[in-house]
């Protein structure tokens, strides 16, 4: 080996280092270290001495609202998970057929529908959620419309149903887009082959299209579930009161400047979500591989 080649390789290594160093430094400083701070705050008190009191508080504290309803943090966390799962299922049930219809439409129609899905995403979600509030209110537009038709009024605002409507509305595009992008690229010959081999419409969907679209479904589920489980604005406007979902609880503690307790709840949320994601990945991997074997 001559000295020239060695010098060249040394220079290449230096370039590589110069390219990667800013980003690596940035991600350690502003992604990894902040997460360490969440754990640090979660396990310390205001004087930064070790404590588990925040976790004890999370699992035991109770508070009652004006209406006499008893709320514990566990109950709130459970409700967050429940509403997020319901919203995700509804998004999947609405989003998958829509993505399928879009992927089978003419190119021009596909483009128009894509644009129509993107437009709401680009508008500020706070204003859109607020507009839903004026629609769903007891004296709102929906009830005005219903009484105009001679039908009775409905009470939606402040219920779990209203929060689910808000979540489905805000996050439905995040379900449609990843599924659509997979279905649009799906090889049509696979479907034709399945039909040639005697599959009917339903079994083509169940045994060919659905398994192939699973990666899109998975990322759609992730993109709906995570923001729904942690939202606080939707529940503030469409749910009742400030202490409704885990996101509200965290935001409330932040506003009250109880940073350590807020960090503890963020820590619990993060751990639960990590476990959920790992489980989901494991299950889909198994399903995909199992499908291939069968």
- Find the binding residues for another protein in span 159-188 (CB under 8 A): 169, 172-173
CB of 68 to another protein, least distance (A): 26
DSSP 209-278: IHHHHHHHHHHHHHHHHHHHHH--HHHHHHBSSSSSSHHHHHHHHHHTT-HHHHHHHHHHHHHHHHHHHH
From the list 28-36, 49-57, 177-185, 283-291, the region that binds another protein by CB under 8 A is 28-36
Nearer to another protein, 4 or 292 (CB): 4
Among 270, 235, 113, 92, CA closest to 171? 92
User: What Cα–Cα distance (Å) separates residue 3 from each residue in 6, 9, 10, 226?
Assistant: 5, 10, 11, 54
Residue 34 binds another protein, judged by CB under 8 A? yes
Q: Taking the complex as a whole, how short is the minimal distance between the CB of residue 193 and another protein, in angstroms?
A: 22
* Residue 215 structure tokens: 């990666």
Binding segment for another protein (CB under 8 A), chosen from 27-35, 55-63, 65-73, 191-199, is 27-35
Alpha helix segments (H runs only) across the chain: 3-27, 33-42, 53-60, 73-104, 107-122, 125-136, 141-148, 160-185, 188-196, 201-204, 210-230, 233-238, 246-255, 259-293
Q: Tokens 């209203």 label which residue? A: 162
Residues of span 252-271 touching another protein by CB under 8 A: 254, 259, 262-263, 266, 269-270
Residue among 87, 88, 137, 213 that touches another protein (CB under 8 A)? 137
Give the separation between CA 255 and CA 265, rounded to whole angstroms: 14
Which parts of 77-136 interact with another protein (CB under 8 A)? 94, 97-98, 101, 111, 113, 115-120, 122-128, 130-132, 134-135
Question: Which residue, 37 or 59, is less far from another protein as judged by CB?
Answer: 37
Minimum CB distance to another protein smaller for 49 or for 294: 49
Residue 149 structure tokens: 């038709």
Taking the complex as a whole, the smallest distance from the CB of residue 178 to another protein amounts, in Å, to 13
**What's the closest the beta carbon of residue 87 comes to another protein, in angstroms?**
14
Question: Does residue 49 sit in helix, strand or coil?
Answer: coil
Quick check: 19 binds another protein (CB under 8 A)?
A: yes
Which residue from 174, 182, 216, 251 is in contact with another protein, where contact means CB under 8 A? 251
Residue with tokens 């992604």: 31
Binders of another protein among residues 188 to 247 (CB under 8 A) are: 222, 226-227, 229-230, 232-233, 237, 247
Q: Quote the least distance from Cβ 101 to another protein, whole Å.
A: 5
Question: By C-beta, is 1 or 31 nearer to another protein?
Answer: 31
Least Å from the CB of residue 127 to another protein = 4
> Which CB, 32 or 75, lies closer to another protein?
32
d(CA 189, CA 192): 5
Residue 20 interacts with another protein (CB under 8 A): yes or no: yes
Contact 174, 205 (CB under 8 A): no
Q: What is the Cα–Cα distance from 91 to 172, expressed in whole angstroms? A: 5
C-beta closer to another protein: residue 208 or 226? 226
Nearer CB in complex with another protein: 57/104: 104
> Tokens 């109950």 correspond to what residue?
75
Report the alpha-carbon distance of residue 164 to residue 110 in Å, rounded: 28
């Amino acid at each position: 080996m001559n000295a020239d080649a060695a010098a060249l390789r040394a220079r290449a290594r230096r370039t590589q280092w110069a390219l990667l160093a800013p980003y690596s430094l940035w991600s350690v400083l502003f992604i990894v270290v902040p997460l360490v701070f969440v754990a640090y705050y979660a396990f310390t008190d205001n004087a930064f001495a070790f404590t588990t009191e925040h976790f004890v508080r999370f699992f035991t504290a109770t508070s009652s609202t004006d209406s006499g309803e008893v709320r514990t943090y566990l109950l709130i966390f459970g409700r967050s998970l429940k509403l997020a799962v319901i919203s995700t299922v509804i998004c999947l049930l609405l989003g998958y057929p829509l993505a399928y219809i879009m992927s089978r439409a003419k190119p021009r129609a596909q483009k128009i529908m894509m644009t129509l899905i993107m437009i709401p995403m680009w508008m500020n979600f706070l204003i859109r959620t607020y507009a839903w509030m004026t629609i769903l209110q007891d004296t709102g537009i929906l009830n005005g419309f219903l009484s105009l038709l001679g039908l009775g009024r409905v009470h939606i605002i402040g219920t779990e149903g209203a929060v689910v409507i808000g979540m489905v509305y805000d996050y439905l595009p995040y379900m449609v887009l990843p599924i659509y992008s997979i279905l649009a690229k799906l090889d049509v010959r696979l479907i034709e082959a399945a039909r040639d081999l005697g599959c009917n419409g339903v079994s083509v969907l169940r045994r060919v299209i659905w398994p192939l679209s699973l990666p899109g479904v998975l990322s759609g589920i992730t993109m709906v579930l995570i923001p729904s489980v942690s939202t606080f604005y939707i529940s503030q406007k469409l749910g009742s009161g400030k202490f409704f979902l885990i996101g509200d609880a965290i935001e409330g503690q932040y506003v009250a400047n109880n940073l350590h307790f807020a960090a503890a709840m963020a820590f619990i949320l993060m751990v639960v979500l990590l476990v959920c994601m790992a489980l989901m990945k494991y299950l889909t991997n198994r399903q995909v591989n199992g499908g291939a074997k069968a």
